[in-house]
Each structure stands twice: as structure tokens, then as C-alpha cells.
Amino acid sequence: MSELRVALIAEGPTDRVIIESALRAILPAPFTLALLQPEPTHPQLGSGWCGVFKWCRAFAARTPSSLESDPTLPDFDLFVIHVDADVAEAHYTDGGDKLAAAAQGLPSLPSAKPCPPASAAADEIRACLRAWLGLAQLGSHTVLCVPAKASEAWLAAGILAEADPLLVGLECNLNVAGQLAGRPVKQRIKKTVREYSQHAATLTKNWAMVRRRCTQADRFSSEVQAAVPKK
């Protein structure tokens, strides 16, 4: 099987580490991953969910019918678009007046929902992403990645022992990253690419456990498997 080419639009570089680790467990073949957003050589969009919003609106302005049909995005086998479910707690004005103006007519934020179920806020953000892209339906090789409440939940699920108290209510916890960074020194994981990368192989190895512990990780796995081109 030939090597797959995956395009990732994500909030930030630490999210890339987690999502790429997941994909190494999910995908049936070797792959190369291109981070389209945030992209260091084009920093004008910024990072975080606001950067993803701006990327999606720029895509929508080109009016293609899908990411797969966009001539500026050639030769990718799979598109993954990531925003954390905690964005349901955010405001468009967090990105400034210009971003808020660009969001006129789009699904409103905040749109927080009770948790559990973790799927409630995730579904809200999935609807936002489709609207930001200007697409009623996604192409067959495009997958939304919406961890609840954030991608650090998947990291925690992949590396923590069964009895760890941080696993309780994991997908409804708005501060997993802060709690990982605030643990005792020998257990501490700061939110940096370097420290997250040290756990990447473990996360890949334990992905089946992540799926059991995190409903949105299981959803992501299933949707990626369905979206991979049959070569």
C-alpha cells in the first residue's frame, strides 16, 4: 500500500503531536502529515481555535464544494480538521472585533452544553466547523477531530494508570492540560511539544485504551477508518 498523505488543520503544535500519535494507531499504512494550520511560514492567521476559524473562512471564500476538490489543496488522501470541544465555552470576541464581525450569520458562541454527555459540546463544535467551512456536508475523505474537552484528555487517557483520579470525568474536565502540568515533578507534563512528544509512542501503543476511556476518541477512530481511501 502506498504512503498516505494527510493534511491537518489544528489549533496548535501540541495538538499535532497528539493527533499524529492517534493516526499512527488508526491508519493502516505509513503516512506523511502536513500541518496546514498553524503554518510557521504563514503566521498571519495565528494559532488556537481562532486560527482554525480564519483558515476555514479563507477556504469558504474560495467556494469549493469540498476540501478534496479545492485546487489549492492537491494530492492529499485525508483531511483532518481539529478544534477542541471547549471552544463551546468561548466567544468570537476572544479573537477580536474583526473576527467577531466575520462570524456574523454563523453559529453563535458560546454554545456550552451540560456534560456528560461529552458528545453534546462536541456536536456543537462540529456544526460550527462545517459552517465555518461553508459546507453542508463534508467530503468523503475529510474528518472532524473534536476532543472533549481538549486533546489533552486523549493524552491523559493514554498514559495514566487505571486508578488515577484525573481520569474521573475526563471528557468533561476543562483543565486537563493545567492539571497535567501541575502534578508532582516526576509525573508532570508541561504543555510543550518536547514534553508531549516524549509520550507520543505510549499514546500510539495505548490507543485502544484511549478509545475505551474517551468517547470522542472512539468516534474519531471510526470516522478516520471510514474516510481512508481504499488503495
Residue 52 sits at φ, ψ, to 5 deg, of -65, -40
| pTM, entire model | 0.96
Under 8 Å between Cβ of 126 and 98: no
Question: How many domains does the chain divide into?
Answer: 1
Residue 198 identity (one-letter amino acid): Q
Pairing verdict, β 4-9 and 31-37: parallel
165: amino acid identity, one letter: P
pLDDT digits (tens, 9 = 90+) for 39-90: 877 777 899 999 999 999 999 999 889 999 999 999 999 999 999 999 999 9
Identify the CA nearest to 156 among candidates 80, 89, 209, 117: 209
The DSSP 8-state label assigned to residue 142 in this structure reads E
Angle between helices 215-227 and 13-26 (to 10 degrees): 60
Contact yes or no for 123/114 (Cβ under 8 A): no
By residue range, what is the domain housing residue 94?
4-227
pLDDT in tens, 146-190: 999 999 999 999 999 999 999 999 999 999 999 999 999 999 999
